[in-house]
Structure 1
Amino acid sequence: MSIAPAPFQIDDTQQLIEAAHAAEAAERTLLEDEIVRRHLGLAHHLAGRYSGRGADRDDLIQVACFALVKAIRGFNHDRGEFVPFATVTILGEIKKYFRDYCWGVRPPRRIQQMQADISSATERCLQADSHQPAVDTIAREIDASADEIREAMAARSCFSPTSLDQPVRDSGRPLGETIAVDGSDYEFIDDWVTVGPLCRDLDDDERELLRLRFVEDKTQQEIAEIVGVSQMQISRRLSKLLARLRSSAAMADAA
């Protein structure tokens, strides 16, 4: 069954959802696509509220759009209006994404849960008196000690730990260069002998990436400017490449 080409009106979203639930696969897809198209602005807006918190904005938008489809398929008229239902669903999926995938350093589960409780308590206090609540106020609100609240709040940086490539304010040197490291040249030689043969299987772009990072000692941002991509893309490429080399090295050791 085909869909009439005339555009739908925004106030018939609920009817469209009910029609999609009852339709065959092809027609259901067309109906869901129309509903998604209408509410993409909502998904982008909600994803934008969480940008800058340690997750890539494009990834957050993708999570929000998947959640929008989930809301469409899970909605029925007994749950009220669609937009409030979709908003709750999208926010829930975004928070779940942060909880499951966005920790640079994963704290204990109780700290993760306490952070959610702190956010809820803070929002309630702001709505009550329009002032940022003190640590002691939040502690009373969620029945926890002030020390526990401080611990959970300090762990928020685990979403996006400070990059070792970040320049130090006074000297401009990357942070990683200012950190003392115990080691010896013999350890470096041993590592180089292990990794050298593994690099023969890499393509030219991968070898160039390693050369710029570990021979030329370029920062990820500097490499991104040379290659013509974003720093995030360089970070991902390096992570995947190094993971592959570690895996190959482990297999070589086991052989």
Structure 2
Amino acid sequence: MTVRALEDLDAAALVYAERVAAPDADPGYERDRFTRECLPLAHRLASKFRGRGEPLEDLEQVARLGLVKAVDRYDPGRGSFTAYAVSTISGELKRHFRDAAWAVHVPRPIRELLLEARHARTQMTAELSRTPTVAEVAARIGAPEAEVADAFVANGGYSPGSLDASPVSDDSTAPTLGDLLGSTDADLDGVDDKLTVSGLLMRLPARERRMLAMRFYGNRTQVEIAAELGVSQMHVSRLLSHALSWLREAMLSDTPPVWAGRAGVSAGPDLRLRVERADGAVTVRVGGEVDRDCAQRLRLCLRHAVATAREDRLVVDLSAVALLDAAGVATLVDCASAASVAEVPLAIAGAGPTVRPVLKLSGLAAILAD
């Protein structure tokens, strides 16, 4: 806007005031004519706010409304009309951006804090040659860091992305952002099952949990699991099958079943030993699963029983044994050897259908009781 234009508007304002004050004047006509003369001023001020997310036509309407207010409130005795009109129109445009241009309602204190924070961030970016952190901006303007962070987040409410826009391309046939949101999560149906399984896994013995983790989370083969745990691949297969069967049954029942040994024997996986002496016999009752992890405990117990049996007969009761691996068989062979040296009669009783064939193949058939 040139100096000449400013002078012309000020002169026109004085002429307008004189005409309105005339006894035979038509105030409405004079007001409309003077307002039309000032429309270029409103257009130029509206153009300064172009590119801020609002259509220029809407900004011109707001600027013209401010111009009308300036014309109605103008008092020639208080100075330049142009200065008063520029202040009034600019204030109306800023008020429009503050109150009406936000797509999402944001409280006024946050909007004012955002303006201050953005101004401080611009200055600090030039000073530091980098974008300042939220804490640095908060320290500059003397506001709490949390409120400054909320203000920057609220900045997204001024011009949010449209759900009708396509993030892929400008093609009208491409899926829009709205098409990509709110779809059914295919994994949602499995959340309940995952939570149930995670709780049931904690009911399993540590060894079975470790095997399941290695197999299904570590993607390890049964051979690799067997090599790491020091057992046979067949043993790993049996334990995994038993654990999975128990999990399936627990998933389908309201009350999880009690963990039991194989073949329905109600025995836990841990080794249980009980020594009894009665009627001229020392009976070692073995329960659970005998593998490499607990074979040494059984070996020490049987060696002690052989040493204390003296003239009594030694009976090893395997009726509660769910599983006997190679380490367990070796322990029984060692016991038979120690009993033979100590001349203690030895008998193995209660061997189940899965244990008896293994003992026979190991050379212990002679001491197996019917």
Place the TM-score, normalised by the shorter chain, in its bin.
0.5 to 0.7
**Change in CA separation of 1:106 and 1:168 when aligned onto 2, cut-off 3 Å:** same
1:109 equivalenced with 2:108 (yes/no):
yes
Separation in 1, partners of 2:138, 2:87: 26
Separation in 1, partners of 2:75, 2:136: 39
Query: Hey, what does 2:223 align to over in structure 1?
Result: none
Preserved CA contact (<8 Å) 2:166 2:177: yes
Structure 1 gaps of 5+ residues are: 1-8, 184-255
Separation in 2, partners of 1:42, 1:159: 27
Query: Hey, what does 2:65 align to over in structure 1?
Result: 66
Shift of 1:21: 5.4
Give SS of 1:161's match: coil
Preserved CA contact (<8 Å) 1:46 1:64: yes
Preserved CA contact (<8 Å) 1:64 1:93: yes
Structure with greater helix percent: 1
My pick for the range that moved more, 43-52 or 88-97, is 43-52
Query: Hey, what does 1:145 align to over in structure 2?
Result: 144
Separation in 2, partners of 1:100, 1:25: 42
Shift of 1:146: 4.4
Separation in 2, partners of 1:133, 1:65: 38
Query: Hey, what does 1:225 align to over in structure 2?
Result: none
Shift of 1:53: 3.1
Q: What are the Cα deviations for residues 129-163 of structure 1, in whole angstroms up to 9, with x where unaligned?
A: 8x999566754554213443343233233222211
**Change in CA separation of 1:17 and 1:133 when aligned onto 2, cut-off 3 Å:** farther
Preserved CA contact (<8 Å) 1:17 1:72: no
**Change in CA separation of 1:114 and 1:169 when aligned onto 2, cut-off 3 Å:** same
**Change in CA separation of 1:44 and 1:138 when aligned onto 2, cut-off 3 Å:** farther
Which has the bigger relative contact order, CA under 8 A and spacing at least 6? Answer: 1
Give SS of 1:103's match: coil
Query: Hey, what does 2:358 align to over in structure 1?
Result: none
Query: Hey, what does 2:36 align to over in structure 1?
Result: 37
How many residue pairs align between the two structures?
173
Separation in 1, partners of 2:47, 2:57: 10
TM-score calculated relative to the size of structure 1: 0.53
Structure with greater strand percent: 2
- Counterparts of 1:161-240 in structure 2, within 5 Å, are 161-169=160-168, 172-181=174-183
Give SS of 1:166's match: coil
Q: What are the Cα deviations for residues 52-111 of structure 1, in whole angstroms up to 9, with x where unaligned?
A: 434332222111101101011212245432222211111211222233322211123321
Bigger CA radius of gyration: 2
Query: Hey, what does 1:81 align to over in structure 2?
Result: 80
Give SS of 2:26's match: helix
TM-score calculated relative to the size of structure 2: 0.39
1:160 equivalenced with 2:162 (yes/no):
no
Q: What are the Cα deviations for residues 175-198 of structure 1, in whole angstroms up to 9, with x where unaligned?
A: 111113459xxxxxxxxxxxxxxx
Give SS of 1:89's match: helix
Preserved CA contact (<8 Å) 1:16 1:35: no
Query: Hey, what does 1:12 align to over in structure 2?
Result: 11
Amino acid at match of 1:110: P
Shift of 1:26: 6.7
Q: What are the Cα deviations for residues 204-254 of structure 1, in whole angstroms up to 9, with x where unaligned?
A: xxxxxxxxxxxxxxxxxxxxxxxxxxxxxxxxxxxxxxxxxxxxxxxxxxx
Give SS of 2:50's match: coil
**Change in CA separation of 1:136 and 1:33 when aligned onto 2, cut-off 3 Å:** farther
CA RMSD of aligned residues (A): 3.8
Shift of 1:47: 1.7
Separation in 2, partners of 1:80, 1:96: 24
Preserved CA contact (<8 Å) 2:10 2:80: no
Query: Hey, what does 2:26 align to over in structure 1?
Result: 27
